[in-house]
Structure formats: structure tokens, C-alpha cells
Structure 1
Amino acid sequence: MAHLLGADGISLRIATRTLLSDVSLGLDDGDRVGVVGPNGAGKSTLLRILAGLSEADAGRVTRVGGSTLGMLDQRDDVPDGVTVLDLVHGSADIHEWASDARVRAVHEGLLADLDLDAPVTTLSGGQRRRVALAGLLADDPDVLLLDEPTNHLDVEGVAWLAEHLATRYGRPGARGALVVVTHDRWFLDAVCTRMWEVRGDGSGAVDGYDGGYGAYILARAERARLAAVAAEKRDNLLRKELAWLHRGAKARSSKPKFRLDAAAALIADEPPPRDELELTQMATKRLGKDVLDLEDVTVVLPPRGDGPGSDPAGRVLFDHVTWRLGPGDRYGVVGVNGVGKTTLLALLTGRRSPDGGRVRRGKTIEVAQLSQEVHELDELGHLTAVEVVERERGRIEIDGKELTAAQLTERLGFTRERAYTKVESLSGGERRRLQLLRLLVAEPNVLLLDEPTNDLDTDTLAALEDLLDGWPGTLIVVSHDRYLLERVADRQVALLGDGRIRDLPGGVEEYLALRRGARAGASDSATSYGTSGAGLRGGGVESSAPVRTQAEIRVAKKAISRIERRLERIAEEEAQLHEDMVTQATDFEAVGGLDARLKELATEKGELEMAWLEAAEVAE
């Protein structure tokens, strides 16, 4: 296995912060490395040093002669007049790349919806990133460094990129190595065989782990366990030392320096805390049985121009859709860009009215939405993070303990310095965490998250998921992050651009199968394992005789797991409803409402049980 790139004794300080200290790393043929760590730890800086785009204070980076290197940076400076084709292929003639199946696959995976002759400066930020990524993959460098390549890619695009990279750099005998910085944990597990963790704790260390993200988490858990054992031992020794010092006779007061030194050594041995972030579950207002219902809703975009790409009739985003959200429902929403995901959230929040039908809102609901760009903070840029929280609520009681706004921001991972930094100077990840805290202190009972993983590191995402595990309200998550969707959502739905909301008993795998079928011109024949969920009108995928490939069997097994989790939740809710009927037996109106909810659950359970049977036939 040939050596391609090495970093020896790399060190870097920025102002008073140590980002990297005596770091040595190496890349060989076939290496696929994922880089993780807190925001601001120096992950992007490390990549730029390896690429030769930034200089370290000490150490050196060496590369094997004749090897090529390419990097996808988070910066996208492009000269005026450069077209998509120019940026991807330079001055190469069409016949030089069009005959290459690998390059054609790159075009299909990343550029299918773009005009190759369009100037790059006219594209959106996400489209420019895809063009830059396509250019790198077409060049096919020996060492490929990617900084957040999944940003602006939908679920389908992330799956395509993972398969492409795993095939290119993971096939037997492949020449080349890959290093990728990303917060997408599904992508890390699907692509990477090694992990580098940039600690970001001031030590400047970069730790290496074998395996993908799952193996890295297991190794970190073991490290935490060993640290806990060491801490317990240290605490016991400290108690003994302090007890001895307390009991020491005055006559010996000049002699305990050895003991003092021993105690100081024990305290100095205490490692800095790895995870200072804590997302706290706050109260939520009580939800009634009615939450949000879309009833026969139609949404039509206004007509657009008469030139290329025009749509004089207006595009139908939703065509007589009915979708009912009950208390405690947890949905993940997937779909390609432009099919109406953001519009769906706008309907639920009341920021947009339907062109037909109506949106029924429960009397007790309090909706909060975490938007993609958190522009809500723009008008508060002159305030500090603490002041922003104080505007919502100065104090809040959690677990019987009253906390101030400053204490809440500290729990969310803000140091004292950053907590009193103006919002306009905060990083993207800090702004997103701050906006999430603003939403939570308002104690909503319906939470809408629009691409919540943007700008958040893996530790913050884990804390967010832990918080959402105990979220008692109704949750809707729009995301391209498969790991997040499968972790926090009980059910998933898709917007495929046909005006409907489709239930996905098989989760993201089923969605990808539907998209593959659509591209092949056979979306109606894509295999499904169940009818539409309760309250979905025209949202289900028609069943057909399943083709029992390994892929379809995996989809079926995921469907079974997802359905069983939902059935467990239904059983728990039914038990609670029966208890409520006993305690409210004299309140006929309340009993009637509880009985109506029981009937809704019975209908949903029947559909899920049928879907489970159909999936089980395929999974056998």
C-alpha cells in the first residue's frame, strides 16, 4: 500500500488559541478518513494545511512526487464569465470527457438539473458547491480533501456521493485517499474507514480511530468509561489527602508539603471536560387532541415569465392534500429542492395560506420553527447572546432549579466570552444554537425543524437528538441528514413533486427507491410495503408485487423496525387514554374526545399491522 501524504509535527496557534500541537498524520492508498470535532476546533484549517493552502507555525507536510491533490473548500470564489462546463472540464473538448462513464456518472449525480453553459456566478451557493465538487470528481485526484461536501445536497445527492466515493477510493487496488470533514454521520459511516478527531480543547491534539463513525463513538464511550474510573480513583485519593491534612497536628504543620504536592498533582491530572454542551428539556404547553390538519389543501406557485424555464400556468406544489398531525406525532420530511418542503412548514406555521382547502389549528398549539438561515437573529445583531435570551425570558425553572439567561447559554456550550459576544459576530453554529434556545424557552408544543443539522458539529447534534428523544410535543423535521431522520422521527413522508405527500413505511431507503424509479420513468411501479398512513390522502405508494432483491429486503426490514416502534407508541398512548377515560368518567365531552382519539389510533394500527405483514412477506 503506497504512502501518499504525510504531516509531521504540525503546530498552529491563532492569537492565544492552540489549534494544532505536534500533530503527525499519514495517508496511504485506500484510506478514507472522516474528520470530526467541535465547531472552531480547526478541522477546516487542518485540511487547508494538508492541501498546502495554509501554513503551519511548525512542522511540515510531504506529498509523494507525481501524486495529484484536490480540495473542496467552503469558499467559492469564481471569476466572472466562467460557465459550469468551464469550471468542471476547463478547456477540454467534449469528446475527451463524454466518452468516460465515470465522468458521465458525475454529471448525472451532481449536474443533471443545471445548464452547462450557464455562468457559474448566476447559480445559487448550493449549486456552485455542486459544480465545484463535480469538477474535483471529474479530475479524479489521488488525494481528495472535502470540506463539508454534503452541505446543500439532498438525501438523494448524499447517497449518490457516498456510493461514488466508496467505490472510487474503496475498491481493491484503488490508488488514492480521501479525507472528508462533515457533520453527516450516516455519510461518515457509509464512506469512511478511519476517523480523525480534532479535539478543540486547547491541547491541539488530533486523535485517530479505526472504523467509521459508529466505531469512533464506541471508542469514545470506552475512553469516557476509563476516564470515569480514573476520576473515581483520583477522588478517593484526594479525599484521603484532604482528610490527612485536616487531621494533621499543629506540631506537624511545617511538614505536610509532600502531601500538598501530592494533592496538587492529583488535581492537575484532571483532564479538561470533553463535552460541555447540555441541551435541557424545558416545559411544553399541553396539547389537546387537535393539533394541525391540512384539509384538501392546494398550493399553486404564481406563473413565472415566458422565457427559458418559464411556467405560465403556475406549478402545483400541493394538489388537494389532506394530512393530519396528532399530539406526539414525529415526522421526518424528505424531498428534492423545490418540491415544497419549506412551503409545507409555512402552511403549518400559518405564514402562508393555502390557495384551496384549509389548515385547521388546535386551540392550544404553540408552534416554533428553527429555520434554515436563522434570519430571525439578523435584527438582534447588536445584542449579546445573553441579552437575546433575556428578551424571551429572564429566568426559567428546570428540574426545580431556577436558571438565569446567562446560565442557560452556558449550558448550551457558550463560554462566558462568547455568551457576551454580539450576535452579529457569532459563528453559524453558535447562531443556530442560540436560536434553538430562544425557541425552547418559549415552551412550544409543536416544533418544526428546517435542516437543523446545518452548521452544527456532531456533539451538538447528539445533544439535540437526546433532547428530542424526550420531546413530548409534535415534531416535524425537514432534513437531508438520514442519521437524524432515522434517530428522532417515528414516521417519514416524501414530497416527490407530484402534488402529494407520500408516506414512507420503508423510510429513506424507500424514498431513494422511488426516486430511482422516477428517473427510470417508472415511479408508479416502485415497490412499497404498505398503504398510506392515517390521514394521508393520496400520499401512499401503490403496492405491487415486490422484487426480492437484497436492497428490497433491507427496505422491508427497516419498514418492520419502524412500524414496530410506532405500534409501541400507539400501545402506550392507548393505555394512557384508557386511564384518562377512567379519571374523567363524569366529563362526557372529554370522554367523547378521548374515545375519538382511540378510534383514530385503532384505524392507524390496523393499517400499520397490514403494512407489517406485507413487509414481513418480503423480508422472509
Structure 2
Amino acid sequence: MAGEGATAGSQLIWCEGISKSYDGVRVQVEDADIVLKRGSKLGVIGVNGAGKSTLLNLLARKEIPDSGAVSYRKGLRVVIVDQDPQMDDDLTPLECVFAADNPTNRAIRDYEDALARLDKKQCGEEELQRVMNNMDSLQAWDAEANARQILSRLGLDFRSLRNRKFRLLSGGQQKRVALAAALVQNPDVLILDEPTNHLDIDAIEWLENAISVPELTVVLVTHDRYFLDRSCTDIMELYQGSVYNHSGGYDKFLLNKALRLKEEDHIAEVALGRLRKEAEWMRRQPKARSTKSKSRIDQFYSLQSMAKKRTRPGSVEFASKVSRMGNKTLEFIDSNLAFDQRIIMKSFSYEFKRNDRIGIVGGNGVGKTTFLRVLMQLQNLDAGEVIIGETVVFGYYNQAGVDFPSKVRVFDYVKDILYANDVPDPKPIKVLEQYGFETEQMYTEIDRLSGGEKRRLQLLEVMAKDPNFLVLDEVTNDLDLQTLTLLENFLLDYSGVLVVVSHDRFFMDRLASHLFIFEGDGKILDFNGNFSDYLDVRREKTAESGSASLNDGSESNGSSQGQQMRNSKTAPKKKMSNKERKEYESILGEIDKLAARQADLESTLVSGNLDYDQLSSRTEELASKLGRLRFSNVQESKLNLSEVKGSDAMQLFE
């Protein structure tokens, strides 16, 4: 594309023939042409290590391509939020937000500095008036209030963090401060690397709205398929260094990719047949002869390149046995725990059943991870007890990650894991293939793996124990979408107890059949249904509460939630009629069948083995099944609610 022509109209960033590799071996991007237009919302996807973060850094000019050029429209404001943001460790959150070098931030810093010097009589009224006039001209007075509001909506308690240094914040808090710092700059192009990591559902939904501004151009990498579908109008896939553009959401991308791979297979197969003939011709020619047809030699290497495209990584399939479990699993009895001046559990009791699939839901800081630590016997209770069955074998995926040893090859690390867990006939290569590692990755040092590849290695280590009680804390963070789909399909067939903490709504909807909802102050409520059902009930209850407060101004906002819970426990229960009971049992059977068919359809869609007609018909069937499954889940929840007295039942979910 021509230089000046590319700047015309709505085009903001254009890349011409950019390539980037590391150590001359691992190709991230190769000869790519990319154009970003004003208002576009682009989702970048690809397997772990494909180069997604590298591409974002190239677009943000944080890295320089080995060849080609990245050009900006004049005066363009581009802001990037890295997966692990780096900011000045000694600044407070608000100082971090205003640290960027732009006119508004400079005006605010000058004003704050003038006020500080005024107290020391080092600043005159004339200078103070000058900086105040500058604030007026830039309309900067509301900027601090706006920043505080953004921090609050992203789930940060500004008052408690007001004087805390950035280095003392948790990883999740640092990510949210970085997001706020990016948003207050009003950029033309916002580049986000895994923005939903560490955000709760309210913050994610707020961020969806914040980046939906029509004039804002967004480029993002995310594993959250709901966020991807709701926020992006186009998908860009990175695959073996090449860039593929797809218009539409994630579901449409899957269909288009399957068709593209089928066509590429056909082209590569034809090229392979011709390559054999040309290779024979190349061998017959004398080495000293210089009269070989140059064009034919060039054609040989071109065919060789096309034929290589048929060589793709084999199908990844997670595998693990499940240790036998006795009748006793794990039971909480009247458990109480306070941690870091917060009440985590208050009189909590629950006995896990052998096939429980429980999702842990709640805002940041309510104690979800602490609860998992109690499960894993890494945290003691203040009162009550946890009884663990003798045959329980835990598998714990910790969101903090693993401190892998340095200078150790992936192959050697996995070999030691298999021997340590007494795996019979251990075969590290086979196991690594099952977790999506290619040959060159097996013999590289762990330090050189991408963040997502290290997460896959962590997951392999957890599953090598053959756990029958699997605890996953934010397992979806940093995993690519292909790996996530495979993990979901594996977990759908997993026969042990599954406990999951995740802010990935799609992941939770597929895997958790009921939820523990952490509401804070020790309240943990058991909700029968999936995550979307819970959100629907919560929105309905919020709307009803708002309507009631408008219609009856004589009452306050109501009694405390604790009193509501006590009322609901003592309320008389309304039994199901025989007709309702039969309907309930019928719905449960239909849900099981629909869920099984859903998993089968999703597996075949990503297999790449279907022709166009099969892809189209199964895509339509999947949409129909998903709609019916959602309806059936809601109907089941409604019938369950009929057993508890009307408004009191609703209080269980609020």
C-alpha cells in the first residue's frame, strides 16, 4: 500500500511488510500488511507463543520490526496496557494515573506542585493564577474526579489505596491502575493485552461499555470469548507467522477458519505432488552445471514453502486418569474464618458430592482464593472443621503460577514430574504433545516459554497427579482459545469433584452446574444454575428492588441481608405439585442431553474435518441447542425457586 494513500480517510495505523523473529528462529510475524481504521474493534487470537503480544508491541511501537514499517497518522495518540504492566514503583495509584506525559496531566501536576510550594511560601499568587488558568483552558478540573470514578468502576477502593505505592499493590490491582491510566488519556487507539485478567464481572461489563465508544479504535488480546464477541467487530488470527483477517465475531471466525484450512490442505497437497517431481529433477542436475532454469529452481522452493503449510501440530488432547474416590469426599462443618481484617466464612457448612461441579463467584477481595487455600489445607480455620476423605487426591492450579527452575529444559522438567508421580512407563514426549508442545519447545529452556506456554506446563504438572478433586483458580488466564476449548472438553468428561474460580463467563457457563456466591462479610450462598442464570436473576432482582423503592418512598432500602437470610431460612416451603415434579425431572434429562450434544458439536466444529455443508448445518444446530439449553436451565431454576416462598427465595441470590 502506498505511503500517502494509506493515510487517507479513516486509516490510523498501517503496517507494510512487517516481520519479527527472535534469535532468527522463532518467527512471530512474517511479511504482514495490517491497516487499522478509526472506530474498528479488533481481537487478535492465536495459540500460546504465536506472537500476539509481539504484534501488539509492534503496533504500539514498543518494539521495532526486523523488516517493514509501522506508520501512524499525524498526531495519533496510542496507549497500550501490557499483560503485566510496568509503572513507577514509588508512585501512588492516582499519581500513576496522571503519570503520562500529555498537556492535561502536566497541568494537573503543575497545579499540585504549585499548591505544595504555596504552603511553603515558595510560590507566588501570580504563578498560582497562571497554572489555574492553564487548568481552565484545558478543562482539567474534572480529570481527578474522573480518574477516581474509573478506578472505582474497575473495582479499586481508592480510599484504602490512596497512599499505597504501586509496588505494594497486588497484580490485579496493578492491572486495574494501568487500565485507568490508559482510559483517562482519551487515546485514539487503545491496545489491550488480556484486559479482563483479575477483573470481576461488574468491572468487565463496565470495561465493555467503556471501549465501545464509536470513535475509539481498539486492538485487544483476550481469552474471554464473551468479551471478544461483545467488544470486537473483527478477528485477526496469528498462525505460523502469517496474519489472517476475519470479519465478524468468534463463532463466524471458527467457521471461516475451518473452511480456510480445508482449502489450504488442498493447495498444499497439490503442491506436495508437484514438489516430488521437481525434487527428482533437482537431483538429476549436475552440481557443477550452471544452466539450470532459475525460474524452475525458484518454483521448487516456492512449492516447498506451500507444501510445508500442510504440516500442522497434531491434535491436542488433554489426558489424565482419575484416582478412585471413596464415599467420603470433603465436608465443611460450621466453618468460620477471618483473614486480613475481612470475614471470609461465617458458619459455612457443605458436604461435597462425588461429581460436584462448583463455580466460585464474587467480587475482588471477598476471599475466593483464601477459601481454596482452606480446601487445600494451606489455611487454617478460626473455628469449625474441614473433614477430608482418605481417598481424596487434590490437584491445585494456583493463579499465582509456579516458580519454575531456571536453565532447565521442558523435556527434563516433565520427565522428573512423571517419575515423581510414579507414572507407569512415563513418556515425556507423548505427554508434552498432549498439552500442545511442539518438538522444538520440548528441548528449549522453560525461561524461554511464553506466559501461556508456562501455564500449560503448570496444568500438565497438576494433572500428572491423577487428581479426583480438582481445584482451578483462574485457570483461563493466559491460555489461548484453542487450549481453552480443549481444556473445557476434557473437564466436561472429568469424573471427579471440580471447583473453579474464574471470571471467564463462557468457561463458567459450560462447566459449573451450581455456584458458591461470595457476597462479602462471610456470606456464601449456594445457587443452583450456571453463571448466566445467576446474572439474569441478579439483574431481575436489582430491577425489582429499584421499582419497589420508587413506588414506596415510606420505607428504607429494607432490612439487612443477614435478616433477609434468617427470614428465608425460617419461611415455610411450598412443595412442588406432581405436575411440576415431572416437568422438573424432564427438564433435567433434557439438559444432560443438550449439554452432551453441545460438547460434541463444538468439538467437531474446531476439528477442521467437515465440508462446507456440514459446517453450516452444525453451526445452525449449535446455535439452536445453546438457545434451548439456556431456556432449560432457566426453567429448572424457576422450578427450584417454587419450593421456597416467593420474595424470600430471591433473597438467596442477592
Q: TM-score scaled by structure 1?
A: 0.72
Is 1:40 the counterpart of 2:40 in the alignment? Answer: no
Q: For the Cα contact (< 8 Å) 1:4–1:176, is it kept in 2? A: no
Find the counterpart in structure 2 of residue 278 from structure 1.
316
Greater displacement, 401-410 / 125-134: 401-410
Code of the aligned partner of 1:153: L
2:249 aligns with one of 196, 212, 224: 212
Partner Cα distance (1:67, 1:228) in 2: 41
Find the counterpart in structure 2 of residue 178 from structure 1.
218
Find the counterpart in structure 2 of residue 386 from structure 1.
411
SS in 2 for 1:504: strand
Q: For the Cα contact (< 8 Å) 1:33–1:178, is it kept in 2? A: yes
Code of the aligned partner of 2:467: P
1:301-320, CA deviations, whole angstroms, 9 ceiling, x for partnerless residues?
Answer: 2xx6xxxxxx4xxx321011
Q: For the Cα contact (< 8 Å) 1:494–1:511, is it kept in 2? A: no
Partner Cα distance (1:291, 1:210) in 2: 48
Partner Cα distance (2:585, 2:23) in 1: 51
Code of the aligned partner of 1:194: D
Shift of 1:385: 2.7
Code of the aligned partner of 2:23: A
Is 1:458 the counterpart of 2:481 in the alignment? Answer: yes
- Change in CA separation of 1:468 and 1:562 when aligned onto 2, cut-off 3 Å: farther
Is 1:9 the counterpart of 2:17 in the alignment? Answer: yes
Q: For the Cα contact (< 8 Å) 1:502–1:540, is it kept in 2? A: no
Find the counterpart in structure 1 of residue 197 from structure 2.
151
Code of the aligned partner of 2:203: G
Q: For the Cα contact (< 8 Å) 1:505–1:562, is it kept in 2? A: no
Code of the aligned partner of 1:10: I
Q: For the Cα contact (< 8 Å) 1:504–1:540, is it kept in 2? A: no
Code of the aligned partner of 1:11: S
- Change in CA separation of 1:99 and 1:507 when aligned onto 2, cut-off 3 Å: farther
Find the counterpart in structure 2 of residue 602 from structure 1.
none
Partner Cα distance (1:566, 1:290) in 2: 29
Identity %: 33
Partner Cα distance (2:201, 2:313) in 1: 29
Shift of 1:351: 2.5
Find the counterpart in structure 2 of residue 106 from structure 1.
150
Partner Cα distance (1:539, 1:195) in 2: 50
Find the counterpart in structure 2 of residue 221 from structure 1.
258
SS in 1 for 2:498: strand
1:135 aligns with one of 162, 181, 185: 181
Partner Cα distance (1:134, 1:32) in 2: 19
Partner Cα distance (1:71, 1:146) in 2: 6
Code of the aligned partner of 1:84: P
SS in 1 for 2:211: helix
- Change in CA separation of 1:28 and 1:564 when aligned onto 2, cut-off 3 Å: farther
Partner Cα distance (1:561, 1:269) in 2: 54
Partner Cα distance (2:486, 2:594) in 1: 26
Code of the aligned partner of 1:391: D
Partner Cα distance (1:117, 1:517) in 2: 35
1:122 aligns with one of 136, 159, 168: 168
Show the 5 A alignment for 1:462-473: 462-473=485-496
Partner Cα distance (1:571, 1:139) in 2: 45
Q: For the Cα contact (< 8 Å) 2:45–2:221, is it kept in 1? A: yes
Q: For the Cα contact (< 8 Å) 1:284–1:443, is it kept in 2? A: yes
Q: For the Cα contact (< 8 Å) 2:509–2:532, is it kept in 1? A: no
Find the counterpart in structure 1 of residue 72 from structure 2.
63
Find the counterpart in structure 1 of residue 227 from structure 2.
187
1:72-103, CA deviations, whole angstroms, 9 ceiling, x for partnerless residues?
Answer: 13453333543322332334379835389976
Find the counterpart in structure 1 of residue 87 from structure 2.
78
Q: For the Cα contact (< 8 Å) 1:6–1:62, is it kept in 2? A: yes
Shift of 1:113: 0.8
Partner Cα distance (1:228, 1:184) in 2: 29
1:564-609, CA deviations, whole angstroms, 9 ceiling, x for partnerless residues?
Answer: 479638999xxxxxxxxxxxxxxxxxxxxxxxxxxxxxxxxx9967
Code of the aligned partner of 1:159: E
Code of the aligned partner of 2:370: T
Find the counterpart in structure 2 of residue 568 from structure 1.
592
Q: For the Cα contact (< 8 Å) 2:360–2:368, is it kept in 1? A: yes
SS in 2 for 1:79: coil
Greater displacement, 319-328 / 219-228: 219-228
Code of the aligned partner of 1:460: T
Q: For the Cα contact (< 8 Å) 2:42–2:219, is it kept in 1? A: yes
Partner Cα distance (1:541, 1:186) in 2: 34
Shift of 1:350: 2.4
Q: For the Cα contact (< 8 Å) 2:88–2:96, is it kept in 1? A: no
Partner Cα distance (1:231, 1:505) in 2: 50
Show the 5 A alignment for 1:482-493: 482-493=505-516
Show the 5 A alignment for 1:422-501: 422-501=445-524
Partner Cα distance (1:41, 1:473) in 2: 33
Find the counterpart in structure 1 of residue 124 from structure 2.
none
- Change in CA separation of 1:230 and 1:505 when aligned onto 2, cut-off 3 Å: farther
Partner Cα distance (2:508, 2:534) in 1: 13
Code of the aligned partner of 1:214: D
Shift of 1:436: 1.8
- Change in CA separation of 1:433 and 1:112 when aligned onto 2, cut-off 3 Å: closer
Is 1:330 the counterpart of 2:357 in the alignment? Answer: yes
Greater displacement, 478-487 / 82-91: 82-91
**Gap regions ≥5 residues in structure 2:** 1-8, 99-104, 112-134, 278-295, 550-564, 572-583, 597-634, 648-654
Shift of 1:298: 1.2
Q: CA RMSD in A?
A: 4.5
1:138-171, CA deviations, whole angstroms, 9 ceiling, x for partnerless residues?
Answer: 12111111122122222322222112212x2xxx
- Change in CA separation of 1:566 and 1:297 when aligned onto 2, cut-off 3 Å: farther
SS in 2 for 1:78: coil
Find the counterpart in structure 2 of residue 556 from structure 1.
none
Partner Cα distance (1:487, 1:195) in 2: 23
Q: TM-score scaled by structure 2?
A: 0.68
- Change in CA separation of 1:386 and 1:352 when aligned onto 2, cut-off 3 Å: same
SS in 2 for 1:338: coil
- Change in CA separation of 1:563 and 1:185 when aligned onto 2, cut-off 3 Å: farther
Q: For the Cα contact (< 8 Å) 2:229–2:249, is it kept in 1? A: yes
1:360 aligns with one of 365, 369, 387: 387
Find the counterpart in structure 2 of residue 96 from structure 1.
140
SS in 2 for 1:353: coil
- Change in CA separation of 1:569 and 1:323 when aligned onto 2, cut-off 3 Å: farther
**Gap regions ≥5 residues in structure 1:** 169-173, 242-257, 305-310, 527-537, 545-559, 573-605
Partner Cα distance (2:303, 2:586) in 1: 51
Shift of 1:370: 1.0
Show the 5 A alignment for 1:304-319: 311=341, 315-319=342-346
Q: For the Cα contact (< 8 Å) 1:501–1:539, is it kept in 2? A: no
Q: For the Cα contact (< 8 Å) 1:492–1:504, is it kept in 2? A: yes
- Change in CA separation of 1:54 and 1:540 when aligned onto 2, cut-off 3 Å: farther
Q: For the Cα contact (< 8 Å) 1:490–1:566, is it kept in 2? A: no
